[in-house]
Structure 1
Amino acid sequence: MPKKKNKGKIKKPTSSLPEMDTWYKGRLGEAEAALKQKEDELNSTRSSFTQMESFYKERLEEARLTLKQKEDELSSVKVSFTEMDTWYKGRLGEAEAALKQKEDELNSTRSSFTQMDSFYKERLEEARLTLKQKEDELSSVKVSFTEMDTWYKGRLGEAEADLKQKDNELNSVKQRLTGMEKK
């Protein structure tokens, strides 16, 4: 960077015209050199700005292209997502309908099972009561049979005793008859 000059400290010559002319020419040469330096700096800065502008325009164009590409990809993803969402909603609806049908079938089966369970419990209870009744009847029949068996055995015993007695009497009569015949 050029040196800054203290403008307030420059002294004008107060002497003659040639000195003044020399002094102004010197100042003019310094000003021209400073101006030339500033023009060079300005041109360099403009060149840098132009390069930077080109660089950023290229980056901006690349960013626009990338953004367009990403927007296209996003649009494609949105379409795919919408299709997938629709497909899954359809499958979910079908699954929910199938689940509802299975729940209805399960409830119906449970109801049938409960009715069947109640029916068979009632039949089982009736069978138990009938069995108890038959067991009581059997016990009663056994008691009656035992009593009858005892009675018949008693009668049979009496009949056998009577038969034996009659047989003895018959034998006795036969012996007497045989003894009488022999006589």
Structure 2
Amino acid sequence: MKISNGSYLNLIKEQNNDFGNRRQERLENRRERLDQTFDELQQKAIDEGDAEKAQKIFKMSEVIENRLDRKLDSLEKKTGSYNWDRHLDNAFDELQAEAYENDDADMAEKIFGLSQAVKSDGSDVQKQLLLSKLLSDWRDTGTTNQVAIEQQDSAEVNSSAAVDTSPVEIRTFG
């Protein structure tokens, strides 16, 4: 069997992409397991009423997750794939970090609760209620995040438009 030069190069490129995809999948699984472990520890600290411990756990998780995220971001560029769950988790982490920076442990706990609800298999109605409560609480505290307000405002505008009510699969690892 004779392989033309162009086909051979495509075969090598596909093989390299496959290695990158497998490595990316392994790193994403590792990050997800670490994220779940830190989330459980943080939830335990919140349940105990120890906001300082929850904040320390959050900061530790951020250091480790950021290290893995740098690797995953470069692999995403190489492979062309994109993990929405990881980026959504990072967005919640940024909101939570901002709340901790503003010494608002209560808001950070609410953001953490919302992120857990979004990750869970809960109903969309529950998620919408939690999100609207979070955004209204955030507006009331005066530490308003302009992006969050714009998202809520655009969600209110889009709520009058046709909404896709098809079921959404949310994967959890456990």
TM over 0.5: no
Q: Structure 1-normalised TM-score?
A: 0.25
User: Which protein, 1 or 2, shows the higher relative CO under an 8 Å CA cutoff with sep ≥ 6?
Assistant: 2
Greater Rg, structure 1 or structure 2? 1
Structure with a larger share of its residues in helix: 1
Q: Structure 2-normalised TM-score?
A: 0.27
